Structure 1
């Protein structure tokens, strides 16, 4: 049963916190989770949820069946070499390191290790994340199904080929920051026209939230919803014309492309280091 599964996190950053928070929204008890980090800076957040914390990565692995490795890409090789002697056939290792390929993960762990590559995003903290994972060569369909079941409280969870993971990083992992930038710009536009900053930021955040929920729940293409807001000669079409003049569409596409390429570069760099 998933509720009885022992789960470990190596790394205590935002992604680990968001995933752990989502898991606890299900049937998993805090006592079945353990988190490690080299410093105590972020561990307090986990302790407040009743999760056991430690500075020992090996302790986490030995006490877990499913291990999330949620560290920066440049640290992944050192962490995996440290825990490799303790990874057994019972373990499923889930990497959240941007750009690090399944082939690299499998090479740094014992033969036949069950590895999954996962890319979440920051809204997992609010259980509104977008997560995409790909299974390694020794991970069975049931391993993927089990992970999906465990993470479904974190938000949208999908499985796909590994080639999509870096694209997802650019679209959703980095895309969250792009949305924040746009929300900030919306609010600043309102401030320019005379609205108080606090109110402008509140309305901008609600606008982004409402637009996103409607887009998700309606099942309509973004272009269709956009057209439904526009009326001939109305305010929206004038505003959209200004956005098009500013190249917002091309800039957004280029941002996703740049972030995707950077994710791939990080992966190539990690392979070179290994």
Structure 2
């Protein structure tokens, strides 16, 4: 429960930007590096778990007062902070085992990621935009996946992909934050759900538009073929359904729409795979 293994949606949301990036980095007409996909898939589990553990260690006094989080192991007293720290160390050792299999450029990039991971839980105390900070953190894999394949970064492809991921996080995590808005108001905890208020759907519609635009630009610059844009249109329809139908006053519906983002990630990934496979014909032409 401390690593949220019982709630795998966070691992999917963490892993998809990595998978997108690795697949875009494949050569025209070829499948992505399956070993690297498996490596990042395995890495996502303890890395996301470590982030959750840090979050629960820092927020245990807040979590006690929030209906949705009061049963978490550290907030409820099932585990002590010392046990939480030991478990965090164990997860980081697992992460290190995976990271050591990457190239040196990727290792340095991963090290530069850690300050974001460890500082994110504090953001809700200082800014109404912790969801944006989470976007910078959760989508770092978009940089890391490309670097693991290419041993470099290509800004024209990776920067719009990374920005798109940040916009995606602003959409899904704002919806998620609406579950806790009443408790957050009482505790003085900040979020985009509180900042946007009744204008939330307008804001997340704008971020959703930027998300699809960023993904389209990244695919265009990477010379992905036409199948990518069909899948991207399907992903845009799924996102539009989320935003237009979510009941922001209903916790269960907010959670359901939030969880559905694993399918958005899967649609984009499928589009990149088929777009990369079909892109060989463009290069041959």
TM-score, with structure 2 as normaliser = 0.22
Instruction: Report which of the two structures shows the higher radius of gyration computed on alpha carbons.
Output: 1
Higher RCO by CA contacts (8 Å cutoff, separation 6 or greater): 2
* More helix as a share of residues: 2
* More strand as a share of residues: 1
TM-score, with structure 1 as normaliser = 0.23
